[in-house]
Amino acid sequence: MRRKNLDLEDYVMLTWDGLTRYLEDGCCSLSNNIAENSIRPFTVGRKNWLFSGSPKGAKASAAVYSMIETCKASQINPENYLLYLFQHLPNETKFPDRDVLDRYMPWNPEIRTACEK
């Protein structure tokens, strides 16, 4: 099915809610530069990740990359964060438990203090 070509006025009316969302929430930014800058290294390096070796390797790479970018977005030193995880997670008895994992998320105040830049 072919999409109808919309003129600017029709497009604006169809997307009005999204276009005005920032007016309803003072935390919303007019720009998405932060999001674009955080994914840029991923898109630039994607050819390098063709050689992950297997789907499991690609999934592991994506998980680590996600952790690093979350640290950057949270103003946490990624190296300090990974060291903290490697030192403390092996001592957890209920490791995959959601409550345990929540304690190790970058936005946790204890993590922020231990891993600040």
- Please, what are the averages of pLDDT over each run of 10 residues along the chain (117 residues)? 72 86 78 80 71 80 84 90 92 81 88 86
Output the pLDDT for position 86: 92
In whole angstroms, give the CA distance from residue 78 to residue 117: 9
- CB neighbourhood size of 87 (10 A): 10
Output the pLDDT for position 79: 94
Output the pLDDT for position 21: 80
Output the pLDDT for position 3: 57
Output the pLDDT for position 85: 92
CA end-to-end span of the chain, whole Å?
52
- Check: CB of residue 70 under 8 Å from CB of residue 34: no
In whole angstroms, give the CA distance from residue 113 to residue 104: 12
Output the pLDDT for position 83: 94
Output the pLDDT for position 1: 44
User: What is the pTM for the complete model shown?
Assistant: 0.58
